[in-house]
Chains A and B, each alone.
Chain A
């Protein structure tokens, strides 16, 4: 018998008496397991809220632990790094910024003063240079800069003629001639003449510092011979020549 089997015959042969089933004890075990799983689930549903709250508490505690440790680490980091920042920051602060508070004070000083005294200010003082220095130098330089700022700002702001030839730092000539000028303003020419003559006799060095309002009076006195001009007084000669 050398029969050739077709696909259908092979399949039919395979499926005949092919009714093997799992043993009873396996059936029971699986069904019992399925029932237990369902019952456990029901029990766990009842206990679910409790366990859930416990789990949440545990999670919160663990979360807090991380939060606290993170906070502590941040504090340590700040404590370690903060001094470095403290010393580094002044390195970048310029003198200009240190001058800023001095500006309003300067303005106040200018506003309160009825008359501004003329001062000589060098060009280099007027220019505000941006100089980066250390904190210690800033502290030392700050008062000086404030003072300079007062001097530097005021002429510029009020348009004072810095190239005035007889401006003296001590301001004495103005003060000396003040009374004479007052008399001249009050049209007390005789009093002014006598005061001027008296002053120039006492202090001949003021021949070169005659203020402009008194120059006419001075020249008139010189012409009349009431005042003798000293030989060193070249400036007044020049002025008289210019006027002539």
Chain B
């Protein structure tokens, strides 16, 4: 019991060092702390249509952590190191998609599908449970809008608002200048606002047309 309490009070870096020395419990604690944010970061980056790929990539991130347990040194926060691994793997994945020309096609496809179909589906729901479903609609809409962001802007947005890193930590993870990251974040918010606005307008128009 005291060991569990000790593990819970340990920092990420201490847990990782303990795991490097052979403590399985330390890794379990570390995994428990970060699995959710990392999983969501990877899933949002790849989009809802690539759930299987996202899970595969998520596992790959943790396998890299396991493989590098002996060489890990406390040069930065563990979370920064962890997300840098995830970031690099995602960049590789985006490059593969870009090389095949699939990524843009998928984005366009998703964009067209959601833009055209979802307002009608949502509008039908809106008729039944308007007040409850409106918030649900917005939540799903903004997540979809996040998927439609340019990868670099989405990356910055997710690291900042999904993983909870500061702007300077985001710079460290994506290895970009602070001005660049700030610009990406500003454009991301602007894009999300426009996207959500369009979706709301479309839902209202669809609902009125259906009525």
* Alpha-carbon gap, A87 to B23, bound state (A): 75
Which of A5, A11, A14 gathers the greatest number of chain B CB atoms within 10 Å? A14
B-side contacts of A7, CB under 8 Å:
189
Choose among B36, B55, B143 the residue that contacts A26 (Cβ–Cβ < 8 A): B55
Check B58 against A18 for contact (C-beta < 8 Å): no
**Interface membership of chain B positions 115-141, coded 1 if the CB is closer than 8 angstroms to chain A and 0 otherwise:** 000000000000000000001001100
Check A34 against B27 for contact (C-beta < 8 Å): yes
- Residue in B closest to A36 when the chains form the complex, CB atoms: B66
Check B142 against A22 for contact (C-beta < 8 Å): no
* Alpha-carbon gap, A42 to B148, bound state (A): 47
* Alpha-carbon gap, A35 to B23, bound state (A): 9
A-side contacts of B28, CB under 8 Å:
31, 34
| Main DSSP-derived SS at the A contact region | helix
| Main DSSP-derived SS at the B contact region | helix
Nearest CB on A from B54, distance (A): 9
* Alpha-carbon gap, A117 to B196, bound state (A): 131
A53 interfacial contact with B, CB 8 Å: no
A77 interfacial contact with B, CB 8 Å: no
Which of A3, A5, A16, A23 gathers the greatest number of chain B CB atoms within 10 Å? A5
Check A3 against B24 for contact (C-beta < 8 Å): no
- Residue in A closest to B185 when the chains form the complex, CB atoms: A7
* Alpha-carbon gap, A85 to B193, bound state (A): 88
Check B58 against A33 for contact (C-beta < 8 Å): no
Given contacts A2-B201, A10-B192, A30 and B162 within 8 Å (CB-CB): no
Check A20 against B40 for contact (C-beta < 8 Å): yes
Choose among B24, B55, B146 the residue that contacts A38 (Cβ–Cβ < 8 A): B24
Check B69 against A37 for contact (C-beta < 8 Å): yes
B97 interfacial contact with A, CB 8 Å: no
* Alpha-carbon gap, A5 to B146, bound state (A): 15
- Residue in A closest to B28 when the chains form the complex, CB atoms: A31
Given contacts A34-B31, A42-B22, A1 and B200 within 8 Å (CB-CB): yes
Choose among B24, B142, B200 the residue that contacts A10 (Cβ–Cβ < 8 A): B142
Check B22 against A41 for contact (C-beta < 8 Å): yes
- Residue in A closest to B54 when the chains form the complex, CB atoms: A22
* Alpha-carbon gap, A15 to B36, bound state (A): 13
Check A29 against B189 for contact (C-beta < 8 Å): no
Check B63 against A33 for contact (C-beta < 8 Å): yes
Check B31 against A10 for contact (C-beta < 8 Å): no
The number of chain A residues with a CB under 8 A from chain B is 31
Check B143 against A14 for contact (C-beta < 8 Å): yes
Nearest CB on B from A149, distance (A): 79
* Alpha-carbon gap, A9 to B206, bound state (A): 24
Instruction: List CB contacts (< 8 Å) of B17-47 with chain A.
Output: 19, 22-24, 27-28, 31, 35-36, 39-40, 43
Check A13 against B62 for contact (C-beta < 8 Å): no
* Alpha-carbon gap, A5 to B162, bound state (A): 19
Check B142 against A13 for contact (C-beta < 8 Å): yes
Which of A4, A23, A34 gathers the greatest number of chain B CB atoms within 10 Å? A34
- Residue in A closest to B143 when the chains form the complex, CB atoms: A14
* Alpha-carbon gap, A192 to B21, bound state (A): 123
- Residue in B closest to A37 when the chains form the complex, CB atoms: B66
Choose among A4, A15, A34, A37 the residue that contacts B197 (Cβ–Cβ < 8 A): A4
* Alpha-carbon gap, A29 to B58, bound state (A): 12
A-side contacts of B204, CB under 8 Å:
1
List residues of chain A with CB under 8 Å of any chain B CB.
1-5, 7, 10-11, 13-23, 26-27, 29-31, 33-35, 37-38, 41-42
List residues of chain B with CB under 8 Å of any chain A CB.
19, 22-24, 27-28, 31, 35-36, 39-40, 43, 55, 58-59, 62-63, 66-67, 69-70, 135, 138-139, 142-143, 146, 161-162, 189, 192-193, 196-197, 200-201, 204
12 residue pairs A–B, Cβ–Cβ below 8 Å: A2-B200, A5-B193, A13-B142, A14-B192, A22-B36, A23-B55, A27-B35, A30-B62, A30-B66, A31-B31, A33-B63, A38-B24
